[in-house]
């Protein structure tokens, strides 16, 4: 299946337009993160956690519990727990001592009981997540992202026998991750472990598209030795354009459905994936291969084997 019949776009001739836009995205994302910062979830900031359960046979659900607590003025995170009766984890930030947790637990049970007195909930446990744990988790998260990107550099460098190809691929990934993170900082959306998962997933999808283009470039370097480098890269990108767009459209359909119908728990994750898919496809086409061209023509002696 081909969306584009024999496209002939001069990607290399137009390379400074997407590279310039990407520079704006990166600078804007970094500025948003520096000025506004992130709205971290309880895992990263510390706070209190309650486990609340209802009697067996009750029809309580996560949306109902969340809605009840929001109406009571309690800004909480709610998720369901697999059990033989309705059970929920309720979390709130900035409640880091036993007295505050006790008050929060009383308000939570009181609000839930008033909303449904016929199925009175019970408090199974309450815990405090200290700020030290949150800082340690933030550190581990940054290392996880770093080692993921570093592993991608090594893999691409080994596969194409040239570290520059791996570095340009990760520059494109850096653009994608910073772009999504900047949007979350700008909009004040909450960053939790699920969003971190989305960022790493975005990196995986993006490098997959980039590798397809790089594979075609490597193949042509061996089969069309007399072809100028700019023509070779343009040909490779045009030949893989339909595949790249079709792949991201299929993924994007799923992400949009999750964003619109996945509920509060998955909404931000799906939103990150939607933005990341757009940026990832854009960087694979407009950033990674053109940067290889720039390096090869400026420092690599023109056309050089990977």
What's phi and psi for 169, nearest 5 deg? -65, -40
Domains of the chain: 16-41+133-298 (1.20.1640.10), 47-129 (3.30.70.260)
Contact (Cβ atoms closer than 8 angstroms) between residue 275 and residue 183: yes
Tokens of 233: 């890269």
Nearest CA-CA partner of 176 in 217, 216, 212, 204: 204
Q: What string of pLDDT tens digits covers the 306 residues of the chain? A: 566 677 888 989 999 999 999 999 999 999 999 998 888 877 777 777 888 888 887 788 888 888 888 888 887 778 777 677 888 888 887 655 667 777 888 888 888 888 887 778 888 888 776 665 567 777 887 888 788 778 877 887 777 767 788 888 888 888 899 999 999 999 988 888 888 888 888 888 888 888 888 888 888 888 887 788 889 999 999 988 888 888 888 889 999 998 988 777 788 999 999 999 999 889 888 888 899 888 888 876 544 444
- The pairs formed by 301-304 with CB atoms below 8 angstroms and a separation of 24 or more are 302/229, 303/221, 303/228, 303/229, 303/232
DSSP strands (E only) in 37-95: 39-40, 47-53, 77-81, 87-93
Residues 6 or more apart in contact with residue 1 via CB below 8 angstroms: 242, 246
Cβ(41)–Cβ(189) under 8 Å? no
Residues in the chain: 306
Q: Which helix (H) or strand (E) holds 274?
A: helix 263-283
Q: How far apart are CA 216 and CA 291, in angstroms?
A: 16
**Rounded distance between C-alpha atoms, residue 160 and residue 199, angstroms:** 25
């Amino acid at each position: 299946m081909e969306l584009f019949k024999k496209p002939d776009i001069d990607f290399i001739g137009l390379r400074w337009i997407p590279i310039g836009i990407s520079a704006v995205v990166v600078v804007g994302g970094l500025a948003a993160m520096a000025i506004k910062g992130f709205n971290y979830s309880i895992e990263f900031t510390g706070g209190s956690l309650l486990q609340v359960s209802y009697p067996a046979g009750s029809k309580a659900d996560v949306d109902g519990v969340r809605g009840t607590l929001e109406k009571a003025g309690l800004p909480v995170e709610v998720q369901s727990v697999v059990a033989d009766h309705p059970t929920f984890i309720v979390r709130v930030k900035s409640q880091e001592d036993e007295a505050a947790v006790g008050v929060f637990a009383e308000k939570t049970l009181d609000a839930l009981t008033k909303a449904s007195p016929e199925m009175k909930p019970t408090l199974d446990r309450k815990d405090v997540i200290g700020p030290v744990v949150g800082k340690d988790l933030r550190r581990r998260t940054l290392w996880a992202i770093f080692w993921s990107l570093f592993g991608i550099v090594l893999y691409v460098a080994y596969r194409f026998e040239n570290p520059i190809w791996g570095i340009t691929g990760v520059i494109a990934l850096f653009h994608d991750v910073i772009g999504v993170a900047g949007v979350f900082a700008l909009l004040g959306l909450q960053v939790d472990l699920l969003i971190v998962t989305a960022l790493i997933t975005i990196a995986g999808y993006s490098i997959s598209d980039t590798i397809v283009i790089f594979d075609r470039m490597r193949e042509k370097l061996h089969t069309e030795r007399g072809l100028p480098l700019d023509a070779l890269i343009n040909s490779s990108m045009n030949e893989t354009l339909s595949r790249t767009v079709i792949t991201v459209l299929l993924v994007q359909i799923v992400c949009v459905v999750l964003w619109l119908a996945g509920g509060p728990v998955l909404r931000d994750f799906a939103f990150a994936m939607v933005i990341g898919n757009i940026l990832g496809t854009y960087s694979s086409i407009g950033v990674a291969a053109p940067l290889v061209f720039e390096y090869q023509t400026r420092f690599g002696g023109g056309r050089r084997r990977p």
